[in-house]
Structure 1
């Protein structure tokens, strides 16, 4: 089992020289979502599946075929020998370091030898921005780094939602089952039997199927709710963005981090309501053309209320902010991702990245966002800091500039990757 605190790393293969390729900036539009949870967590694997040319090459590669066959044999053996033990059943679906490296070598060889695959990988991975942290490494190493990240993300989902391992935030992210119960064992056995019965799969698909099914089994579809947002909850605001005269405003957007109540019957915490009022005041003062409310289904665990959705309702009902001025991020689960997800919307929705944004909240959270403590937490959990603090004009507000690194996918947090 791999450690929860996975540090993103680069796997170098010294005997091969990476190809040079023209730098492509990530698309300033939301990524197309075919299978939402998969696409948002494992964009590379979705590309492998949906691009026929790549999937055909992967399916016919002898090294990958041999590795896949060996892993399938391990799964069949586990089904025969792992009685009353879900951990044992799922172990063949996790990725050991040596298997991850074997795939990395095969992908590098394919990238080097197949110009058509190389062209697709260079274009699609660069344009997606899903692995923006790796884009300066060159196409070959971008591909390998993205694969390594996906493999560890798959392992993490299997460990937390299949084996009951402790997640980084157990209070809100833990498994929904008693892993020792007969009911859970029966479900895992059925799942692994179904996966084992299908032999015509790409090398990663058994693990991917297991991970996605375990998330669904645990009702952990938070990352997919309200998607595609540009066609649903953010549609009205998006129509206004293209006609906005940005030079009329000091800030591009007013960001409001959510605050979830611990009472499952309370839709919006009082602290969240006060933050919403601060945002409405700044909006009506003309500081920015949009408010972006951020917060998902967080507190208490598996709550029926999303912080951002409830704040939007309050803005519409109580503070007379028009819907076309309200952007919603209904996925963030922490202050780190409040900031990251806000930046993602700024970039993907075509708002100016060189214009400062304003975040408003209560004084204690504003102090925290400004602190080195949060910056270090971002580096630890995300691998980067998604913002640059510019100034603190009041005890309830901060001015910041967004960082494009925020586009990086993080399958180590599958509920909001």
Structure 2
């Protein structure tokens, strides 16, 4: 009976994968906007900037033009009147409720009348996979939800990295400075002045001022984790991607062994004691020839603004200590939480055209594995991501569980700008 339940769950999740998703590519060899951080957080905004017809449509639109001009005037006024009040200045970049309603309303009108925008949503936003969790929405709903997500993401960046509000995981993701200090207040004001008055103007899109300011706050705080190591396909994962094309996955019970990290809590150690144990446990599954590939997952999460990337160090350990060939190791150097360990692994599987109907194994120490297999983990995924990044299946032993990737893992999450 249990096997039948697992099979039904697997079929439900596999049915979510279309041919488009099976051939999806993580194309970060070149930035589409000049900023990989922007592309990976705000796909919609980058896509609008790069679609000439849609770009012009929105810049010429009277409602959006008014919003842009009002934003410029408000920011200019606050640069003069706010003095050293950062909250006063940043409020000029944030979208008020009335503005958000006007934007939603104008998008709805344009979606009824403008074919270029209709085609943009249908042929670009949908096919990108970046808003996969909205795939069951109408085209108009998808556009509105994508924009609302981008607006929330910019607001989140401004609150955390401008005003110093605590993010969900404050120990890892907080602002890098004392926001009460004269140094930081002066830095934010000077950056704002540069962006508003001195930087050459490009697009005059209604979101442009807020977007550039948000990205500058991340830059000021050295929070570029999401762009480091890209393009993976031409760097750390290059040899493995070439090898994947030659693998006979039918000869293995599982597609991959995903090993979860456990970051050190100091700035000297490259891997923690438990992190090294996780590797040992994963190697046992790999050496039993259960899967042809190992995926290691973990970014610059622990300690705060960590020097070492866990996935990079895990790969080195696998190669130098356990003598695993490089071509059999994939890395995810971005994950900061267990939720994104599984999500990012699913993204790699989709992007690199691994068999998505074949189960993989997630391996970690027994305490962590108990958590991954617990219903509370699914609840956390729904709360933080809005979907389940994988379907957790049968437990193999105290440290290994079967899982299948979920197509919704392609969905961007700018609410977590360091690992969206």
* TM-score normalised by structure 2 residue count: 0.92
Is 1:409–2:412 an aligned residue pair?
yes
- Rounded Cα–Cα distance in structure 2 between residues aligned with 1:68 and 1:353: 44
The residue aligned with 2:233 is 230
Is 1:313–2:309 an aligned residue pair?
no
- Rounded Cα–Cα distance in structure 2 between residues aligned with 1:126 and 1:241: 27
Is 1:68–2:71 an aligned residue pair?
no
The residue aligned with 1:213 is 216
- Rounded Cα–Cα distance in structure 2 between residues aligned with 1:92 and 1:162: 12
- Please give the per-residue CA displacement for 1:104-161, whole angstroms capped at 9, x wherever unaligned: 1222222221112311221111111110111111211111100000000000000000
The residue aligned with 1:30 is 26
The residue aligned with 2:124 is 124
1:17-416 to 2 correspondences below 5 Å: 25-26=20-21, 27-32=23-28, 33-34=31-32, 35-197=35-197, 201-416=204-419
- Rounded Cα–Cα distance in structure 1 between residues aligned with 2:120 and 2:342: 31
**CA root-mean-square deviation:** 1.4
Query: Does the 8 A contact of 1:25 with 1:126 survive in 2?
Result: no
- Rounded Cα–Cα distance in structure 1 between residues aligned with 2:275 and 2:268: 15
- Rounded Cα–Cα distance in structure 1 between residues aligned with 2:58 and 2:75: 21
Q: How many residues are aligned here?
A: 395
- Please give the per-residue CA displacement for 1:269-320, whole angstroms capped at 9, x wherever unaligned: 1111111112222212211111000000011101111111111000000111
Structure 1 residue runs of 4 or more that deviate by more than 6 Å after TM superposition: none
- Rounded Cα–Cα distance in structure 1 between residues aligned with 2:100 and 2:19: 27
Query: Does the 8 A contact of 2:71 with 2:209 survive in 1?
Result: no
The residue aligned with 2:10 is none
Q: Give 5+ residue unaligned stretches, structure 1.
A: 1-22
- Rounded Cα–Cα distance in structure 1 between residues aligned with 2:100 and 2:350: 32
Q: CA deviation at 1:93?
A: 0.4
Query: Does the 8 A contact of 2:254 with 2:358 survive in 1?
Result: yes
Q: 1:111 to 1:25 in 2, by over 3 A?
A: farther
- Rounded Cα–Cα distance in structure 1 between residues aligned with 2:139 and 2:244: 33
- Rounded Cα–Cα distance in structure 2 between residues aligned with 1:24 and 1:202: 34
